[in-house]
Amino acid sequence: MYPFHLSGRLGRPAAGFRTRLSVLALDDRAVPGSLWPSDPTQQPYDTAPIGATVMVSPTSDGSGTDGSGPALGEDPPGTSKPADAAPMIVNFLATPNGPGWYQLTGQVIDESPGGLVVNFGGIPSAVGKSVTTNSDGTFSLLLQVQTDGTDTGIVTAVTQDAAGHQSNTAMYWIDPQP
């Protein structure tokens, strides 16, 4: 005799519990390309703006830190900040504004955000369109789109600052309905 005994059916899971797989639809409010810069040396839009002042109280050794590294606002030894960072487009949206119309809005973050030209692309109706930013970097364009399905896709926005640095490519999905 064997010290163990097999009974019942083998290879069949117990009845009752089954895993149900599903796919969740993502809404189109937060397109990844518009949230994070394409250049990893830049900050994402929700961090302190470039040029922000941070106050630090000095510690007993006067360094402003616990002695483990540079004080806030200081670069680690051997590194330096770029004199002019590339602009960044944030809060890019394409809001329906009636059948066949979308309002494209956003803001450019840069040392001098006013007067920059934002170029649009992606869907056929946006290619070749552009707008100039206001003094605070905001921009807006009312765009007429085709409702026959040819303009369903991603609208893009990109700009370049006076020093020639190109911004991230902001993207927004649209699906124009008749």
pLDDT of residue 177: 86
What is the structure's pLDDT at 59?
44
* Domain carrying residue 109: 89-178
Q: Which residue has the higher pLDDT, 46 or 17?
A: 17
Query: DSSP state, 58?
Result: -
The CATH number that applies at residue 163 is 2.60.40.10
User: Is residue 102 one of the residues assigned to a domain?
Assistant: yes
The reply to whether 47 falls in a domain is no
| 161-174 mean pLDDT | 94
Q: What is the DSSP letter of 166?
A: B
- The number of domains in the chain is 1
pLDDT score of 109 more than 80: yes
* Res. 178 pLDDT band, cuts 50 70 90: confident
